[in-house]
Amino acid sequence: MTRQVWLNGKKVPQEQASISVFDHGVLYGDGVFEGIRVYNNRILKCETHIKRLFDSATAIRLPISYTADEIIAGMRDLVQTNQITDGYIRLCVTRGAGTLGLNPFTCEKSSVFIIADTITLYPQEVYEQGMAIITSSVIRNHPAALSPRVKSLNYLNNILAKIEAIDAGVMEAVMLNHLGFVAECTGDNIFIVREWEGKITLMTPPLHAGVLEGITMNLVIELAQKAQIPVHRMDMTKYDLYTADEMFLTGSAAEVVPVTKVDGRTIGNGTPGAVTDQLKKAFHDLVSQNAPED
């Protein structure tokens, strides 16, 4: 079956879905996007994703040419049309077609497109056995240049870090911020587990470290708090990663992924830890039963 794409209010076959070469999203990476999961015909945290999309657009002065309700209706219609029971939605907003200059005000109307398809980010054995990652030499964008909370179409620094990971024979890389603290990975947020003030604690970098406020990240934090696992946001260095008892990544596409090695150093005993397994199971139980859409 040929997949349909929602493009500016209409469904078209994916082979015919195109935007202008003069679109500032193509010319300059000028736009925002969301990656959203579908579980059992339910769009996970749909309203939260849409709010983040509109917040990102507001931050870069990008008027979205459709309302939130219209975009949500488009996503639901497309998921049904493409028969996606469990899958992934990519929702993108570009500045639209304009001139070859940087001036964004030559773009008369933003372009919105939605892709709904299946996705497998990592092999199943990674979720069962854990993955190895490296620390990249490519840092996150300086927060004074572009807020990390803007989910921008311009992912070039993340792509360069991803290339380093692939060259090193692994699938993911940790990115530091301009101060040398741990921020996040190329496409995922990062957590460690260690003893803190006498308790086994879940730790993750603070938002000011240059972190995208991940929706799956926040959901996992909620699940940890519900399980009475303390959660602490703190600035972390590579040392904190190397000496962690457990480590895992979170993301809409990745879900919850155990990490068992960083820069050649084994994390814990080299297998996914108990807290990681507990939260991974809690996440899967939640989304398989009644994935929250708000």
SS (H, E, C) the chain: CCCEEEECCEEEEHHHCCCCCCEHHHHHCCEEEEEEEEECCEECCHHHHHHHHHHHHHHCCCCCCCCHHHHHHHHHHHHHHCCCCCEEEEEEEECCECCCCCCHHHCCCCEEEEEEECCCCCCHHHHHHCEEEEECCCCCCCCCCCCCCCCECCCHHHHHHHHHHHHCCCCEEEEECCCCCEEEECCCEEEEEEEECCEEEEEECCHHHCCCCCHHHHHHHHHHHHCCCCEEECCCCHHHHHCCCEEEEEECCCEEEEEEEECCEECCCCCCCHHHHHHHHHHHHHHHHHCCCC
Positions marked active-site: 151
